[in-house]
Amino acid sequence: MRISWDAYFMKIAEDVALRSTCNRAWVGAVMVRERHIISTGYNGSPAGLQHCDDVGHLMVDGHCVRTVHAEVNAIIQAAVFGLATRDAECYVTHFPCLNCSKMLINARISRLVYKDAYRIDPIALEFFQQAGVGVVELVEKD
């Protein structure tokens, strides 16, 4: 059976997550426009800096501040290579935190598809709705 586009891109996001270098959460994001991947991102340290997996976590108020989130890395990678994120869809393995949600809105994505309902922030949901961003939880069928 042929899988849907949503399932296809989510499977790729899951593979991207395997590159994460902060073992507190393996998160992957894939930015897609017109069914073509424009960028990917995973949780990891800024380019050229040491990774949590190598030197440990840098914890502040219960959060690892060494790590750049997957969604932000996907936005940054698009910018580095001159690819517009306007009207793109973002496939992410975990629901984005509030800060990532705001960045995705400012990146002008049209749709967010997530798999893991990890710490869904009601303010983030409200912001997505106000911004006109479609939000879809991808549920696997048995």
Tell me, what DSSP letter sits at residue 115? E
Q: Which amino acid is at 13?
A: A
d(CA 67, CA 69): 6
Going residue by residue through the chain, which has 142 residues, state the pLDDT in tens, using 9 for 90 and above: 899 999 999 999 999 999 999 888 899 999 999 999 999 999 999 999 999 889 999 889 988 899 999 999 999 999 999 999 999 999 999 999 999 999 999 999 999 999 999 889 999 999 999 999 999 999 976 5
**What pTM does this model have?**
0.94
CB atoms within 10 A of CB 142: 2
Options 14, 34, 71, 89, the catalytic residue? 71
Cβ atoms of 43 and 93 within 8 Å: the answer is: no
Question: CA-CA distances (angstroms) from residue 99 to 5, 71, 72, 95?
Answer: 27, 10, 9, 12
Cβ atoms of 30 and 72 within 8 Å: the answer is: no
d(CA 134, CA 142): 25
Tokens representing 33?
A: 């426009």
Q: Which amino acid is at 20?
A: S
d(CA 112, CA 33): 12
> 3-class SS at 66?
coil
Catalytic residue status for 137: no
As beta bridge partners, residue 80 has none
